[in-house]
Structure 1
Amino acid sequence: MPKKKHKKWSRHVTETSNAMDLEKDVFRSHDPEEIARSLKHSAETSDRRKSNPFRSAMSMLNFYINRAGRNLPRKQRKVLEDAKGELRRDFGRDPK
């Protein structure tokens, strides 16, 4: 019996949805400011997003955190959670 190929539906969504165009490996950075800055730039320049730039950037960040789930190391999850605050700050929102 042949092995089943596991399809990465989250990768498919990231690449083909009308979310926005992302910088390659943006979520692998260990610097929350760099992640936030890249997401902000992508959200503001992308013509593939449906809502405002802040909402698109935050949605993509949350999508990645949720899809990575248990496979995401605790240290990297903390970096990504910190990037949410940086993203809010970059867009002039009240950081929580």
Structure 2
Amino acid sequence: MARTAKKKWSQDVTEHSDALDLEANVFEQKDPRKIAHSLKQSAEHSDRRKSSPYRSAMSMLTFYINRAGKNLPEAQKHILEQAKGELRKEFGRD
């Protein structure tokens, strides 16, 4: 498989998830609360997810952080890690 094809599968998952309809550019936002709230809304409104809304939202966030990897600026990675905490708060799982 060509190198470019390997890189694109994770982007395709993020953009065309079978479980969640994500807001455009949700992971590029600078406010962790907005990211968490958007993921929560997407997870709660999805009728295609296989697990709980919390688990689906957290899985998508973790997937993005892990897949973006070395291409993710450190500042944005920090924001996304903070969004995990905000997501826990949104679902009452402090």
Same fold (TM over 0.5): yes
Q: How does 1:1-96 map to 2 (within 5 A)?
A: 6-7=4-5, 8-94=8-94
1:52 alignment partner AA: S
Residue 17 of structure 1 and its aligned partner are, at CA, apart by 4.2
| TM-score, normalised with respect to structure 1 | 0.88
Unpaired stretches in structure 1, ≥5 consecutive residues: none
CA contact (8 A) 1:21 1:48 kept: no
| TM-score, normalised with respect to structure 2 | 0.89
Q: Percent identity of the aligned residues?
A: 66
- SS across alignment from 1:19: coil
- SS across alignment from 2:4: coil
Task: Give the aligned CA root-mean-square deviation in angstroms.
Answer: 1.4
* Larger helix proportion of the pair: 2
Instruction: Name the CA shift for 1:36/1:17 in 2 (closer, same or farther; >3 Å).
Output: closer
Runs of 4+ in structure 1 deviating by more than 3 angstroms, as ranges, are none
The count of aligned residue pairs is 91
Larger radius of gyration: 1
CA contact (8 A) 1:36 1:83 kept: yes
- SS across alignment from 1:6: helix
